[in-house]
Amino acid sequence: MGGRTVPSLFGEGAGEARSAVLGANSKLAEEMRSCISGARAMRVFLTGFMGAGKSTVGRLVGELLHLPFVDLDGRIEEQAGRPIVEIFSDVGEVGFRALESEALVEIARLSGVVVATGGGVVASGSNRRTMHAAGTIVWLDPDIDTLLSRLSAEAIAERPLLGSREEARRLWQTRLAHYEDCDLRIRVRADEGALAVAGRIVEHLTGAGA
């Protein structure tokens, strides 16, 4: 379904500081402050391919909404006591996906949270249903060339399911239909900062600036 595409309301002069969003003299900031109390039980799930900025943007969204931030891959590593690459090596993709789904269900029970999911979490219809039932799925959607430009050859080679830029492009293509099953689609420009992206998400979720 693709969700709703939201235009950028945070222009180039937004600045790279929280005060640019919540400054005392900003009318938008006042509107956002008045809506924050309604976001306490909100669950926000950021999806997107590797390099989309889910963790960076997610932390900022959490700060702006005064909600805890959880990195799903980080939670899996914490619970398993070893890094993702070792989990894949030990139990394979099927085993990893089972751990991922279990962690997602656990996090989805929290009363208010911003979650950066792994790039492949959307491949499971069950995972998408879990996120839809619990909260709002936000797809961070830079174009593929932007995504690949953010990743070094070493970073791609280290990913369990990848080995080259060509493989990354093919995997991105196979996941597009799953990413489109979201509530909000954020098209991210190559030159757009994380704060601007987070600001757009928060504006939509709180209704500020409407």
pLDDT at residue 79, as a whole number: 93
- Say how far apart CA 204 and CA 7 lie, in whole Å: 10
Radius of gyration of the chain (CA): 17
SS3 content of the chain, % helix, strand, coil (to 5): 55, 10, 30
pLDDT at residue 151, as a whole number: 79
List the CATH code of the domain at 17-73+99-206: 3.40.50.300
> Which run of H or of E encompasses 139?
strand 136-141
pTM of the model: 0.82
| 1 to 11, 174, 191: CA distances (angstroms) | 28, 16, 27
Dihedral (CA of 140, 145, 149, 155) sign: positive
pLDDT at residue 17, as a whole number: 42
Q: Where do the domains of the chain lie?
A: 17-73+99-206
Which residue carries 């889910």 as its tokens?
Answer: 54
- Say how far apart CA 73 and CA 109 lie, in whole Å: 17
Spatial CB neighbours of 157, under 8 Å, sequence gap ≥ 6: 163, 164
pLDDT at residue 164, as a whole number: 73
Chain centroid offset of residue 25 CA = 29
pLDDT at residue 27, as a whole number: 53
pLDDT at residue 166, as a whole number: 84
> What amino acid is encoded at 106 in this protein?
E
What does the pLDDT profile of the chain (210 residues) look like in tens digits?
A: 565 544 333 334 333 444 554 443 355 555 555 555 555 579 999 999 999 999 999 999 999 999 999 999 999 999 999 999 899 889 998 999 999 999 999 999 999 999 999 999 999 999 999 999 999 999 999 999 999 888 765 565 566 556 678 888 999 999 999 999 999 999 999 999 999 999 999 999 988 555
Do 72 and 121 touch, CB atoms closer than 8 A?
A: yes
